[in-house]
């Protein structure tokens, strides 16, 4: 029984916890065995010194860290680059951060969507240089829009076999995954479940950005090991 079947069967509320947890653990076991089908040898080689750590992380029995502490700090500043901070989170490392006295200005979703795709990537990487900030309540509008884009226009393009922006889709998947780790919102986990299914159907185009692909899979692995998902139902 796959994860989608496990989550779709009608069950009593008191049995939901076991069903959900079992489905997640089965998916994690599957990912542990077959992640090499998604990240090709060439992709791994392009990761350089990170390759071994990614391999060990995805192959581990339990790869989980509780990131919910992030909301207690408010907005956080990080000196490292967005990609370096994302990698630290994906591999369950410490993230060097410090609290900020003030956060950035409110990001209008309408104005964000009017920008070019390169500008949107730049905005997201700059705003979430410390990716944990995507989990803050103040970022719910942006997070909801990223989720909507993944599950509506991005999904429609991919299912129709049309071209799509690999970098942007993977960036959104990483941010949505971080949001899921902090908020425990099952809708965000469901989005990663869906795109994992697409990846399992040979979405080779995702390999165009090996670093974002590897970080997304590592974040997904952590989510699948997250205990107590039933508390957010």
What CA dihedral angle connects 190, 192, 198 and 202, to 10 degrees? -150
Q: Residue 149 is inside which H or E element, if any?
A: helix 140-149
Q: Considering the chain, what is the average pLDDT of its residues?
A: 86
Highest mean pLDDT among 12-26, 52-66, 115-129, 200-214: 115-129
Q: Which is more confident, 62 or 106?
A: 106
Whether the per-residue pLDDT at 140 is higher than 90: the answer is: yes
The model carries a pTM of 0.88
Domain that holds residue 215: 3-232
- The token pair at 222 is 């952590």
Confidence (pLDDT) at 16 = 54
Close Cβ partners of 10 (under 8 Å, ≥ 6 residues apart) = none
> If you search the block for the tokens 């700059």, which residue do you land on?
126
How many domains are contained in the chain? Answer: 1
């Amino acid at each position: 029984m796959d994860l989608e079947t496990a989550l779709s069967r009608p069950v009593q509320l008191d049995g939901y916890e076991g069903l959900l947890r079992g489905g997640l653990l089965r998916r994690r076991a599957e990912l542990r065995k077959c992640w090499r089908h998604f990240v090709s040898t060439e992709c791994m080689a392009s990761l350089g010194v990170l390759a071994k750590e990614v391999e060990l992380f995805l192959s581990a029995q339990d790869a989980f860290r509780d990131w919910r502490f992030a909301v207690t700090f408010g907005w956080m500043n990080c000196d490292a680059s967005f990609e370096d901070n994302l990698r630290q989170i994906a591999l369950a490392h410490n993230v060097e951060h410090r609290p900020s006295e003030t956060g950035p200005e409110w990001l209008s979703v309408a104005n964000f969507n009017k920008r070019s795709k390169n500008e949107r990537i730049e905005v997201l990487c700059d705003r979430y240089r410390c990716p944990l900030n995507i989990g803050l309540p103040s970022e719910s509008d942006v997070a909801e829009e990223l989720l909507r884009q993944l599950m509506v226009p991005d999904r429609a393009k991919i299912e129709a076999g049309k071209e799509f922006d690999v970098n942007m889709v993977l960036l959104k998947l990483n941010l949505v995954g971080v949001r899921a780790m902090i908020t425990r919102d099952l809708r965000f986990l469901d989005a990663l479940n869906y795109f994992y299914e697409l990846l399992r159907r040979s979405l080779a185009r995702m390999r165009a950005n090996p670093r974002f692909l590897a970080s997304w899979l590592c974040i997904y692995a952590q989510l699948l090991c997250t205990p107590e998902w039933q508390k957010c139902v």
